[in-house]
Amino acid sequence: MRKTFLIMALAAGLAAPVAAAPIALDCEATRACVANLDAACDATRVSYQLDVGEEVGDKVVLTTDEGDRFYEFRRLAGAEGVVLQAAGGALESDQGAGAMTVFKDLRFVLTRHGLLALEGDEVPPAAVSISVFGTCTPRE
């Protein structure tokens, strides 16, 4: 198993990055799923404006229609078939790493790890992965 991870890491390090450009997309989340709980997925409708600078390491800014801004991720190097890859660490207590990918067909997946309190103080929080799925369109 360790050898597999080493090979994957070497392959990722040797891959040639795809040229980056600034990105401005309008995105709509349509499904949210929580892994490690009985209730799996729910339909949702949340709109975001997605703005990303052209450099690796630039902030990935998600803004809701209400004007709430989220600086959740940093742009990663490009990859074939992918418009955007981004990742970031915790923003608040009991929250872990997160990642976002926008594919060439403009479908996206956004995932965040965290501890989720389920039944008050008497039950320890559950370690969960929250994934949001949706689509984007280029902003004009």
Count: domains in the chain:
1
Q: Which residues pair with 22 in a beta bridge?
A: none
Give me the pLDDT at residue 71, please.
67
Give me the pLDDT at residue 90, please.
80
Residue 4 lies in a domain: no
Residue 94 lies in a domain: yes
Residue 50 lies in a domain: yes
pLDDT at 28 exceeding the cut of 60 = yes
Residue 6 lies in a domain: no
Residue 34 lies in a domain: yes
Q: Which residues pair with 84 in a beta bridge?
A: 102
Residue 27 lies in a domain: yes
With 0.85 as the threshold, say if the pTM is over it.
no
Count of residues making up the chain: 140
Residue 8 lies in a domain: no
Give me the pLDDT at residue 124, please.
84
Of the candidates 10, 15, 11, the residue with the CA atom closest to the CA atom of residue 77: 15
Tell me the CATH number at 101. 2.40.160
Are residues 74 and 64 in contact, defined by beta-carbon separation less than 8 angstroms?
no
Residue 33 lies in a domain: yes
The Cα–Cα gap between 139 and 120 comes to: 43
The Cα–Cα gap between 19 and 83 comes to: 10
Q: Which residues pair with 51 in a beta bridge?
A: 24, 61
Question: At a CB cut-off of 8 Å and minimum separation 6, what does 55 contact?
Answer: 20, 75
pLDDT at 140 exceeding the cut of 70 = yes
Domain extent for 23: 19-138
Are residues 84 and 104 in contact, defined by beta-carbon separation less than 8 angstroms?
no
